Amino acid sequence: MSDFAIEVNALRKSFGGRAALDGLDLRVPAGSIFGFLGRNGAGKTTTIKVLMGMLRADGGAARVFGLDAGDPAQSVEARRRIGFVTEDKELYPYMTVEQIIRFTRPFFPKWRDDLERRYLKMFDLPPKKKIDILSKGMRSKLMLLIAVCHSAELLILDEPTDGLDPAAVEDVLRELVAIAGSQGTTIFFSSHQLNEVEQIADNICIVDKGRAVVAGVLDDLKARYQRFHVVLESELAAPVRWVDGVEHVRQEGRTVSILASGNAEGIVRQIESLPGASVERFPVGLKEIFLEKVRSDENALV
């Protein structure tokens, strides 16, 4: 059996000639909490739809538990093991909370009644209320309940905390960590909330323009990425050919800001070779990595 719950290789998908996925590669280790990040339109939801069998890729391969997501029969098998929260949190408006749980339960033989009771209480979901009068936040909670209670091996969550108040966000994040820890469930979630991702994810992938631009274990990435603030004696007369590891350089007058993804010692040596340079190192957070990777910067030198 593969060590990866999700494997995506060179995935391509276009809509009307515009590439939504442009050779995306992705590996989601089994049992991990995997944050899938990107700007609006970067290809996150398209990737999720391909994984769920709702969209067919134009090229490449997408596998969930080794099953081909593009094959209808294999996709049904995969979906038995997936709990899914959709981006728009739309459920059947004509059903009550109780009815949609009763409807969903038979599709999943390993339904957990104990978890159902627990989350109904914890999320304060009214069983007799119709879904069409629930807020988006309440629908998010209901979708999470459904996704979690069927003992899914993989949770695919598209913006799971969208519409939740801060207290509910904390509750949900804590539960996700508990589920991953206690049941070994793989959690693959997309989010714009970088602080949430940083709080619970152990692996991340940043996608931009349909390609993975950064991927890996979050702690490793944070250890690898550093920012160097350099103050020079005078402005650089000519462009510098930076050593390996320099990801991004921005210069304003005598000040140079360098984002590096490795080779810190080599970079320091190069900086120290510049006339009158003083350098300071700073750790880099996920937000900074994300912004540097997805934002186009006219002042960038690398």
Partner 1 sequence: MLWYKAWLETRWRMLLPAGMIFFALFTGHQSKGRLHFGPGSMLGVVGLFWLTAPLTLAGSGLRTEAPFQAVKGLHGSTYFTLSLPVSRLRLFASRTALGILETAGILVAVCGIAVAVFPELRGLATAADGFRYMATLLLCSLGYFGFSTLLSTFVDQQWQVLIAVGTIFLSLWLGVSGRLPRSLDMFAAMGPASPLINHAMPWGAVALSVGAGIVFLLAALRVVQARQY
74 binds partner 1 (CB under 8 A): no
Among 82, 155, 194, 230, binds partner 1 (CB under 8 A): 82
Among 90, 235, 265, 272, binds partner 1 (CB under 8 A): 90
Cβ of residue 253: shortest distance to partner 1, in angstroms?
47
73 binds partner 1 (CB under 8 A): yes
Size of site (CB under 8 A) for partner 1:
31
x-or-dash pattern for partner 1, window 135-164, by CB under 8 A? --------x---------------------
Smaller CB separation from partner 1, 103 or 282: 103
93, 131 Cβ separation under 8 angstroms: yes
Smaller CB separation from partner 1, 58 or 288: 58
Cβ of residue 98: shortest distance to partner 1, in angstroms?
12
Q: Which residues bind partner 1 (CB under 8 A)?
A: 49, 52-56, 72-73, 76-77, 79-80, 82, 84, 86-88, 90-95, 99, 102-104, 106-108, 143
